Structure 1
Amino acid sequence: MKNNAVGWFEIPVNNMERAMNFYETVLDLKMQRNQMGPLDMAWFPWQEDGLGSPGSLVYHEEYYKPSADGVLIYLTAHSGDLANELARVEAAGGTVLQPKTKISDEYGFMALILDTEGNRVALHSRQ
């Protein structure tokens, strides 16, 4: 991870169960929930030697508030084609803000979604 500009990311949530269900459904993965005092976190799966950065959903009554206007995080569509993940967004309670859009031949595709908590998040794939 020493070569990554981002060492960790956190996506604020209002309702951890709802948020976990959304991301587990859309990304077809299982999150690991960890409660640490007033912080309630659900970690995305990661590999120590993998590309990208590890991160978490996080709830704290005072310090974390979801937003559609802040930093934009691009989550990797591990299916290889973000159209697969994008197809699950609305059924999981989210909204598609921007459909699958080509960035370039070199960088692939992206889409923008609004999660169940009100966060604007991007999906990315090479196809």
Structure 2
Amino acid sequence: MQTNLVGWFEIPVTDMNRAVRFYEQVFAVQLLRRPMGGLDMAWFPAKHGASGSCGSLIHHPRHYSPSSTDGVLIYFTSQAGDLALELSRVEAAGGRILQPKTLISKEIGFMALFLDSEGNRLALHSRA
């Protein structure tokens, strides 16, 4: 069976309510909040059979810490088809744009970098 290499991702947060509001506003989606023992998680919507990877926001002060300069960089695929739409919502939702929409190549498309409300450095990608 062929699958994408990334099977799950977790984005560390310090304030779950603030982070949920940020991602719901930027991506116009609803996250599903799931406290699990010592963890507080908010799952991104998943469409079975769709390409891409599922993931969540996660709060656990001992094991997870947001990072703006170090660590893994997660690329979100623009659901609008043009990352300019989601990027235009970042600052109003409490984030900061680090790199505006930038052409990678004609074959690959565009990317942008931003900080979320928690200080995590993340990216957006779109073909247009």
TM interval, short-chain normalised: over 0.9
Partner of 1:117: 118
Partner of 1:46: 46
SS of the equivalent of 2:97 reads strand
| Distance in 1 (alpha carbons) for counterparts of 2:2 and 2:33 | 25
CA separation of 1:84 and 1:16: change in aligned 2, threshold 3 A: same
Structure 1 alignment gaps of length 5 or more: none
| Distance in 2 (alpha carbons) for counterparts of 1:48 and 1:7 | 13
TM-score (norm 2): 0.96
Partner of 1:57: 57
Kindly provide the CA deviation profile for residues 64-92 of structure 1, in whole angstroms up to 9, marking residues without a partner as x: 10001210000111011110011110011
Partner of 2:105: 104
Partner of 1:33: 33
CA separation of 1:2 and 1:56: change in aligned 2, threshold 3 A: farther
- Which 4+ runs in 1 deviate beyond 4 A? none
TM-score (norm 1): 0.96
Aligned-residue identity in percent: 63
User: Which one-letter code corresponds to 1:44 in the other structure?
Assistant: F
SS of the equivalent of 2:118 reads coil
User: Which one-letter code corresponds to 1:78 in the other structure?
Assistant: Q
Structure 2 alignment gaps of length 5 or more: none
Kindly provide the CA deviation profile for residues 12-32 of structure 1, in whole angstroms up to 9, marking residues without a partner as x: 000001001111111111111
| Distance in 1 (alpha carbons) for counterparts of 2:7 and 2:119 | 24
How far apart are 1:48 and its partner, in Å?
2.0
Partner of 1:82: 83
CA separation of 1:8 and 1:88: change in aligned 2, threshold 3 A: same
| Distance in 1 (alpha carbons) for counterparts of 2:79 and 2:31 | 15
SS of the equivalent of 1:86 reads helix
